[in-house]
Amino acid sequence: MTTMIQYIRSGVATLCTLIACGVVVVANRWLPVSADIITKTDIFIAIFLGILYEALPFLLAGALIAAAIHQFLDPLWLARRLPKSRWLVALIGALLGSVFPICECGSIPAARSLVYRGAPMSLGVAFAIAAPVINPIVFISTSAAFAGVFGWSFVLWRFGLTIIIAVLTAVMMPNLTIIPALTSEFHDHHGQPDDEIPFLVWLRHALSDLLDMLRYVIIGASLAALIQVFLPNTVILQMASNAWLAVPAAMLLAVVMSICSTVDAFVALSLVGSFSPIALMAFLVFGPIIDFKSIPMFAAIFGWRPIPQFVATIAVLTIVLCGAIWRFGWV
């Protein structure tokens, strides 16, 4: 009976998807609708596919890394080597990203695998927050973009603030728990069968993680595209001229653009004329942690309940810390 209901639900969902996409495609191509609607659907589709295409390689890399952690990390080995202090554990989690070149699409499933394989929660949370920024690719892109414009202190503060926010959030929100992935299910039921080739087991895990996270990236890309259709991001840029609104505007822009952390430094560079350095710092610190792709992904591993507090904590920390380094004249 329950399977019957599942089939009906699945069928209705398929029908809705077909109709929704069909309406967009037909309106865009064949209906004699106004030029305005054609333009809006054009922009929607271009931005949706743009975000998705650009996220895919990083999502795939993240799924492969998460699957490798799941398969090869020995929980006992990890538990014996970690310090007792939550602060230190969180700091290790925040710095762990430096060996994984992934963005938010990859750090969140990887964090789930880490926790599932015995890492403490605070390590997983700090890792999920910091890994998109604390990695070699982002270091190269940020220094290439900004070392010559605002100097090295700006580049280093981006990484410093990210680590501080990751550690503080992990310690301040000790009640977060991880919802296990579907992968862990078949892992447990079948154990680690000796007759299976490890390479294929790895790909199976990666596929499962990919299918899981791809759904949230698709939701995020659609939302970001939809908002840009009705609120072109250049309109947000105009809020930037107000000194008080500049920092929140930059954070809002980062959420709306939902671009990958590995490339956002170059986008921030194109905003140098519109935003103050400190607003760009907020863009570069907040954007990789919170955007339309990452929010549903965080909800997938933490559940929806703690998400508002989680987002608010990170937003407040970003504003306060950016305000502090601006007040002390460090950037």
Partner 1 sequence: MGMKRITPWIIGGLLFVVAALLFVRTATGQMALYIHPRYEVLMYFSGAVLFALAIICITMPIPIPNYSTQFLLIPVLLGLGIAPRALGADAIGQQGTALNQIAQRPKVTTVNPTTVDTTAWNVYDWVVATSVDPLALKGKTVQIDGFVVRNPDMQLADNQFMLARYVLTCCVADAGGVGMHVQWSNSAAYPNDQWVRVEGTIDLHDVAGVMQPLVIATSVAPIKTPLKPYLVPRK
Window 252 to 281, contacts with partner 1 (CB under 8 A): 257-260, 263-264, 266-267, 269-274
Tokens encoding 251: 């954070």
Tokens encoding 124: 């997983």
Identify residue 169 by its one-letter amino acid code.
Answer: T
115 and 180 Cβ atoms separated by less than 8 Å: no
Cα–Cα–Cα angle for 224, 129, 125, rounded to 5 degrees: 125
**Residues from 80 through 119 that contact partner 1 (CB under 8 A):** none
**Residues from 33 through 52 that contact partner 1 (CB under 8 A):** 35-36, 38-43, 45-52
302 and 177 Cβ atoms separated by less than 8 Å: yes
The answer for residues whose C-beta is within 8 angstroms of residue 130's C-beta and 6 or more apart is: 93, 94, 95, 97, 107, 162, 163, 165, 166
Nearer to partner 1, 156 or 203 (CB): 203
DSSP one-letter code for 234: H
Binding mask 120-159 for partner 1 (x = CB under 8 A): ------------------------x---------------
Query: Which of 3, 5, 76, 81 contacts partner 1 by CB under 8 A?
Result: 3
Nearer to partner 1, 226 or 311 (CB): 226
Closest approach, Cβ 58 to partner 1, in A, equals 8
Closest approach, Cβ 175 to partner 1, in A, equals 26
Query: By C-alpha distance, which of 91, 104, 14 is closest to 51?
Result: 104
The answer for residues whose C-beta is within 8 angstroms of residue 202's C-beta and 6 or more apart is: 64, 67, 68, 71
Our finding on whether 243 is near partner 1 (CB under 8 A) is: no
Query: Which of 98, 143, 233, 313 contacts partner 1 by CB under 8 A?
Result: 233
* Half-sphere exposure (Cβ direction) of 54: Cα atoms closer than 13 Å: 18
Nearer to partner 1, 3 or 175 (CB): 3
Nearer to partner 1, 78 or 219 (CB): 219
Closest approach, Cβ 179 to partner 1, in A, equals 12
Cα–Cα–Cα angle for 131, 135, 140, rounded to 5 degrees: 145
Our finding on whether 16 is near partner 1 (CB under 8 A) is: yes
Closest approach, Cβ 231 to partner 1, in A, equals 10
Nearer to partner 1, 182 or 243 (CB): 182
Q: Is 198 exposed, middle or buried (0-12, 13-18, 19+ CB in 10 A)?
A: exposed
Distance CA 214, CA 210 (A): 6
Our finding on whether 67 is near partner 1 (CB under 8 A) is: no
Closest approach, Cβ 108 to partner 1, in A, equals 15
Closest approach, Cβ 47 to partner 1, in A, equals 5
* Half-sphere exposure (Cβ direction) of 322: Cα atoms closer than 13 Å: 25
**Residues from 170 through 229 that contact partner 1 (CB under 8 A):** 182-183, 185-186, 200, 203-204, 206-208, 210-212, 214-215, 218-219, 222, 224-225, 228
Our finding on whether 22 is near partner 1 (CB under 8 A) is: yes
